[in-house]
Amino acid sequence: MEEVSLLPEPYKNLLNLAQTCKQLCSHALSQLYLNDVRDSLRLGFDLNMPLGLQWACWFGVLEGVKMSLIGLQRAGVNVKRKLNQPFRNDNLYSLRYKTVRKKGPSGPAYGYLHWGSSSGLLHLACLRGNTAIAELLIEKGVHPDAPDGKSLPPLAYSLNEDVVSCPRSQNLYTPEC
């Protein structure tokens, strides 16, 4: 950065612009995640999981999960309790089927036709094979055996062919897998 600041105009101005944009972006994103949390808290108990947090767990955006967690803290929410709360995932469920209809069957989560309309954040991360997010959620207090709307633990969702490889003849719930 020091070398770029020594460059003549307009490069020096571009550096200043980039630094300003980075600072504004950081502040704006933080505020957007806080607003997402506040908006979600106005909904019913089974719907009030921040959408940014749901989507970040689904799409594997670790920084998005972290920003959502900061938003929850800033809003005064009990983060551990919120992370352990099951929620209706209608938006993600709908997106999943729209994607399958549009692009055809592929990727993690396709084989889980029984995926219910109520899940936890750890279920989403496991279903998609997002291990860094799963680790962060467990670190933040998510119970790894909490059942979803289909009474399945998160581990059951990580046992799909796109997340782990097990010989088809084996039972997927055996310790070898």
Half-sphere exposure of 1 (CA within 13 A, CB side): 5
User: What integer is the mean pLDDT of 39-44?
Assistant: 81
pLDDT per residue as tens digits for the range 80-138: 999 988 887 776 666 666 666 777 665 554 544 445 567 889 988 888 888 899 999 99
Give Cβ neighbours of residue 91 (< 8 Å, ≥ 6 apart): 51, 54
Cβ(57)–Cβ(87) below 8 Å = no
Domain ranges of the chain: 2-158
Cβ(157)–Cβ(130) below 8 Å = no
In angstroms, how far is CA 89 from the centroid of its own chain?
12
Closest CA to 48 of 88, 84, 79, 93: 88
pTM of the complete model = 0.69
Domain spanning 2-158 has what CATH number? 1.25.40
**Residue with tokens 């506040």, as numbered in its chain:** 38
